[in-house]
Amino acid sequence: MTTFFRYLAKEIFVATALLLIALLALFALFDLIRELGDLGKGGYNLTTLLIYVTLAQPMHVVVIFPIAALLGTLLAVSRLSAQSELTVMRASGLSLKKLAIFASVIGLVFSTLTFVFGEFVAPAAEEAAKRLRLSATSAVVAREFRSGFWVKDDLSFVNIQTVTPDTELLNMRIYEFDRAYQLTSISIVKSAKYESNNHWTLKDVEKTSFDGTRVRINNLPVANWNSAMTPDLLSVLRVKPDEMSISNLSAYIDHLRDNKQSSIRYELAYWTKVLQPVAVVIMMLLAIPFAIQSNRSGGVGARLMLGIMVGLASYIFNQMASLLTTLNDWPPLLSAATPLAVFFILAISLITWKEYGVRLQRLF
C-alpha cells in the first residue's frame, strides 16, 4: 500500500500543481486587463503594473486552491482509471475506502501548505501590492489600523473611524499642520460625503484652531473640505475581511466587540479561513466518485467540466450562506461549517454508493 500511496500522491501533486498554475495564469490575465485602464496614471508604469499583478497572485492561491485540489484529484484519478491502473490497484486490494483515506492524507499536506501560505505570505503580499499601487497612482499615504484609517494628505493627517459601503466617512478627525509642521487646527467631523473633483461636504464639524497662544473653537453644521482622497482610493485601501490573516481577524473581532460594533462579517471570514484546510480535504474526497465513472460517462474533459461545475456549486453555496448570515445575524461558525458538512456527507455517500455498486458487479 505504501507504493500505491506514493504513486497516487505523485499523480495528484503534479496534476494539482499544473491546474493551479493554469488557474493563476488566468487570474493574472484578468488582473492585467483590469489594471491596464490605470496604466500611465501618475507613476503607474508597466513595470509597476506587472509587480502589482505578481504580488496579487498569492491571495488568489489561497482562494482557488480547494478548486485546484478538486480538479487535480479528479484529473489524476480519472487518468489512472482510464489507463486501467486503478483497476489493477483495486484488484491488488485497494478499496475505495483506502483510496479516500490516501486522498485525505494528501489533502492534509495540501491543507498545511495552504494554511501557512494564507496566514503569512498572502496577507503580506496583498498589503505590499496595495501600497505599491497607492503610492504609484496617488500622492496620498494611508493605512488602516485598529483605531481606523489614518491618511496623510499633503499637510494634514486624517483619522477615519468608519467607512460605510457607499463610502461615506463617519466619526473622523482632521489634524492640519503648517509648513513648519506646527499644528494649526483639529476638526472633529461627524460625517463626510464626497461630491466631485476632490471636494467633500462635512457635517456637524467642531473645529479647534490654534494661533500662537490663542485657541478658537467653531461649531459648523456644514463645511467644505478639499482632499486628494476619493471613494476609489478608499475602496482600494480598505482591507477586506477575506484578505486578512487569522491572527489579524481575531484581534480585529475583539476590537469591534470592545467597541460594541458588529463583527459578523469578520467572524464569518475568520471561521471560513480556520475551516479552509478541511475544505481542501472534502473537495478531494468529492472528486473520487466522479473520477471513477465508466468510460461511457465521458472522457477526462467531460469529468473536468463536471469537477468545475461541482467547484462552482461549492462556491455559490458558500457565498449564499455568507450573505444569509450577514443579513439574518446567523451564527458565523454554523454558516461556515454547513456547506462543508453538506459536501462531506455527499462525498462519503457517493463513495459508499460507488463501493457498494462495485461489489454488486463482482457478485453478478
* pLDDT tens readout for residues 240-275: 788 888 888 888 788 778 767 778 888 998 999 999
Q: Does the pLDDT value for residue 128 go beyond 80?
A: yes
Report, in angstroms and rounded to the nearest whole number, the Rg of the chain calculated over CA atoms.
Answer: 27
Q: Which long-range contacts (CB under 8 A, 24 or more apart) does 158-167 make?
A: 158/227, 158/229, 163/234, 163/238, 167/194, 167/231, 167/234, 167/235
Range ranked top by mean pLDDT from 89-103, 198-212, 252-266: 198-212
Which residues, other chains included, contact 252 with Cβ-Cβ below 8 Å and sequence gap of 6+? 146, 244, 263, 266
Residue position matching grid coordinates 485602464: 37
Average pLDDT, the chain: 84
Residue position matching grid coordinates 467540466: 305
Q: Does the pLDDT value for residue 49 go beyond 90?
A: yes
Stretch among 33-37, 59-63, 178-182 having the lowest mean pLDDT: 178-182
* Nearest of 23, 85, 63, 10 to residue 291 by alpha carbon: 85
* Res 323: pLDDT: 80
Q: What is the maximum span of the chain, computed from C-alpha positions, in angstroms?
A: 100
| pLDDT top residue among 295 and 23 | 23
Check: CB of residue 77 under 8 Å from CB of residue 85. no
* Res 27: pLDDT: 94
**Rounded mean pLDDT of 4-33?**
93
Stretch among 170-174, 253-257, 339-343 having the lowest mean pLDDT: 253-257
> From CA 28, how far away is CA 362, in angstroms rounded?
48
| Helical ranges in the chain per DSSP H | 2-35, 46-82, 85-91, 96-116, 122-137, 231-237, 246-258, 264-291, 300-328, 332-363
* Nearest of 222, 273, 277, 264 to residue 244 by alpha carbon: 273
Type of residue numbered 356: Y
| pLDDT top residue among 358 and 318 | 318
Q: Does the pLDDT value for residue 347 go beyond 60?
A: yes
* Res 83: pLDDT: 81
Residues in the chain: 364
